[in-house]
Amino acid sequence: MLKLFGMIDLLSALALVGAVFGFTSNYELILVLLLLIKSVPFIPDIASIVDVFAAGIFVLAILGFTGFYTWIVIIWFAQKGLVSLASS
């Protein structure tokens, strides 16, 4: 399960990079939904709270509002995904 969550985070980072450069698709909304589904049940955890805020920033990026904060979220998803895939 941890590897699946890691893949979702890595795909989200890649999709978010695409959104920054203007490439958006319907599957990005599916990734936002998957991020929320995997984050909300674990909401007392600080990483899950950050994931919910990051999903909101992801939606803003899909709508065309990007900035420095978007790159922070990309780094967040990428490092979280890589650590999840590298562990166990």
Entry pTM: 0.90
pLDDT, one tens digit per residue, over 31-85 is 999 999 999 988 889 999 999 999 999 999 999 999 999 999 999 999 999 999 9
Alpha carbon distance 78, 45 (integer Å): 19
At 60, the amino acid letter reads: L
Query: Residue with structure tokens 């699946």?
Result: 4
pLDDT attached to residue 88 = 64
